[in-house]
């Protein structure tokens, strides 16, 4: 009599165990399905960031960021040189951010997929030209005003646009 009860208990335990494994498998499957529909952190950030995308190939995006870091270095040099009335250094740093034909072509190329980007980028470079002009006039207050206008152009552009790295420019 003990044997049938023992067999029943063993079958019941294995049945519970198998049911438990099935439930765990179902839970894992549900978790996988949920994570497949859940956006990645990068995708979630992209949806939250409502700025207009500038589609760029990876090398273009890298080049653009390098240029912006160079602009930040030039801003730092303008400030440091203006602090000691070194107008020649202010002018040189301002010119590095200023407009040139090659910079204009690059802005047009980078902004081809984002209406309004090229115009804002060119406005930045032309505004930076005012720094060199103020330095040639040896006017500290005018240098600071021109730098303020240039930084406003930076801020406006960064508030409007974001890089969107793409595999091809037809995306």
Q: Is residue 171 domain-resident?
A: no
Pick the more confident residue, 50 or 26.
50
Question: What's the full length of the chain, in residues?
Answer: 171
Cα torsion 38, 41, 44, 45 to 10°: value is: 180
Do residues 71 and 88 both lie within one domain?
yes
pLDDT at 50 over 90: yes
Q: What's the mean pLDDT in 9-21?
A: 53
Domain count, the chain: 2
Strand partners, 56: 165
Q: Is residue 92 domain-resident?
A: yes
pLDDT at position 27 is: 72
Do residues 34 and 117 both lie within one domain?
no
Hey, what are 8's tokens?
């029943």
pLDDT at position 42 is: 86
Do residues 58 and 132 both lie within one domain?
yes
pLDDT at 5 over 90: no
pLDDT band at 37 (very low <50, low <70, confident <90, very high): confident
Q: Is residue 170 domain-resident?
A: no
Do residues 74 and 17 both lie within one domain?
no
Residue 26 CB contacts under 8 Å (≥ 6 apart), including other chains = none
Instruction: Quote the domain boundaries for residue 29.
Output: 2-38
Do residues 106 and 137 both lie within one domain?
yes
Q: What's the mean pLDDT in 57-86?
A: 97
Do residues 89 and 81 make contact, with C-beta atoms less than 8 angstroms apart? yes
Q: What's the mean pLDDT in 67-75?
A: 97
Q: What does pLDDT average to over the chain?
A: 88
Do residues 59 and 128 both lie within one domain?
yes
Do residues 6 and 58 both lie within one domain?
no
Do residues 63 and 145 both lie within one domain?
yes
Residue 78: HSE in the Cβ half-sphere, 13 Å Cα cutoff = 35
Do residues 102 and 151 both lie within one domain?
yes
Do residues 122 and 146 both lie within one domain?
yes
pLDDT at 112 over 90: yes
Do residues 106 and 145 both lie within one domain?
yes
pLDDT band at 63 (very low <50, low <70, confident <90, very high): very high
Strand partners, 164: 55
pLDDT at position 170 is: 75
pLDDT band at 3 (very low <50, low <70, confident <90, very high): low
Do residues 159 and 94 both lie within one domain?
yes
- Digit-coded pLDDT (tens) for 123-147: 999 999 999 999 999 999 999 999 9
Query: Any idea what the CATH number is for the domain that residue 158 is in?
Result: 1.20.120.10
Which one, of 18, 10, 16, lies nearest residue 2 by Cα?
10
């Amino acid at each position: 009599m003990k044997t049938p009860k023992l067999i029943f208990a063993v079958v019941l335990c294995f049945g519970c165990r198998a049911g438990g494994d099935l439930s765990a498998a179902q839970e894992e499957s549900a978790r996988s399905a949920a994570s497949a529909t859940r956006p990645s952190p990068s995708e979630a950030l992209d949806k939250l960031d409502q700025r207009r995308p500038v589609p760029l190939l990876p090398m273009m995006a890298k080049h653009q960021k390098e240029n912006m870091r160079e602009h930040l270095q030039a801003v730092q040099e303008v400030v440091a040189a203006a602090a000691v009335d070194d107008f020649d250094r202010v002018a040189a740093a301002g010119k590095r951010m200023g407009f040139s034909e090659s910079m204009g072509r690059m802005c047009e190329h980078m902004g081809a997929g984002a209406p309004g980007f090229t115009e804002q980028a060119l406005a930045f470079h032309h505004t930076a030209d005012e720094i060199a002009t103020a330095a040639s006039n040896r006017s500290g207050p005018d240098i600071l005003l021109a730098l303020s206008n240039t930084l406003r152009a930076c801020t406006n552009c960064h508030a409007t646009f974001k890089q969107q790295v793409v595999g091809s420019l037809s995306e």
